[in-house]
Amino acid sequence: MNMIKTAMLIAAMTALFMGIGYMIGGSGGMMIALVIALAMNAFSYWNSDKMVLRMYNAVEVDRANAPEYYGIVESLAERANLPMPKVYLIKNDQPNAFATGRNPENAAVAATTGLLERMSREEVAGVMAHELAHIQHRDTLTMTITATLAGAISMLGNFAFFFGGSRDNNNPFGFIGVLAAMIVAPLAAMIVQMAISRTREYSADRRGAEICGNPEWLASALGKLAAAAGRTVNVQAERNPATAHMFIINPLNGQRADNLFSTHPDTENRIRALMAMAAEMDRPARMETQAHERPASSPEPVEAPLSRPAKTGSSGIPKTGQTRWGRDGGGGKKGPWG
């Protein structure tokens, strides 16, 4: 089903791209836009992960130079029955993370140094589980191709003025068409980005909570991420705003309103959904525990079954000592995640 939705979305973005081309250059402009869109779709399919990671100067890490961070992703991927993705580190003070890649077999996750330095082990596990959920749901291809096409559409709108507005250029709408393209193109691209991000974030939150085993870990991380993102400027994201919807939290601003012009759902709404999920998980655990409680007259204790992982307990995530980030990842700065 996700593959069908992905194909439909890519078709819609391509049609939008062609429509803007028609508004600027008539039928000739539409055909040129179609050729460009098809070439971009093909290129993005095979190189989407490399493009985005290069934009953010992400450095691949492994068990040798980032043992805890890599170990967390490895353990979570195993719990989710996913192939081990490539693991990247971005030297950036803003705490954030994203996933990319065309499929689970060719996927990558990336976290900023700010995320690893400011979050607890459990919170990092919640965030990376959310990103693995995007990979499992095959959202990464859609999100990355949409980022590429949205950037191209916005650029096309900015270039519209230079194409002129006369009918001699086969523009059926004249200057009005050019003006409309300049205004409508970036807005339309932005709305498409918002739609895919907002609808898929809730789903990834829920699946991520299931993967890490405790919704409260991700809920706690989201609260910290939203607060820090509004105070820390992500220069790389500001230069590439079309990629904003890929991150777990909007890297461009601290916007809190859950409205049409937000690239992400309201963080408080996401936290409430996760806490409701935690309560649902608690209910059967409490009932099962009560059913196995030892009666007062019983001479032998009865061991209660395990519930979901404790807030600060083990969840199968390996724990190693404090190590360095690695030469390329964080300039040798010490942190709790390797």
| pLDDT per position as a tens digit, 50-80 | 888 999 999 999 999 999 999 999 999 999 9
Flag whether pLDDT at 146 surpasses 80: no
Q: Helix (H, G, I), strand (E, B), or coil: what is residue 277?
A: helix
Among residues 68, 122, 131, 201, the one annotated as catalytic is 131
Q: Give CA–CA dist 280/99, Å, rounded.
A: 28
Mean pLDDT calculated for residue range 170-196:
61
pLDDT at 198: 66
**Which residue in 305, 16, 326 sits closest to 157, CA to CA?**
16
- The 3-state secondary structure of 182-249 reads HHHHHHHHHHHHHHHHHHHHHHHHHHHHHHHCCHHHHHHHHHHHHHHHHHCCCHHHHHCHHHHHHECC
**Active site (annotated) includes residue 131:** yes
Q: Which of 18-27, 102-111, 187-196, 306-315 shows the lowest per-residue confidence on average (mean pLDDT)?
A: 306-315
For 227-266, how does the pLDDT look when each residue is reduced to its tens digit (9 = 90+)? Answer: 898 788 888 888 877 788 889 998 986 444 444 445 688 8
Q: What is the pTM (predicted TM-score) of this model?
A: 0.71
Q: What confidence tier does 99 reach under pLDDT thresholds 50, 70, 90? A: very high
For 1-60, how does the pLDDT look when each residue is reduced to its tens digit (9 = 90+)? Answer: 556 666 676 777 777 777 777 776 677 777 877 787 777 777 777 776 788 899 999 999
Mean pLDDT calculated for residue range 252-281:
76
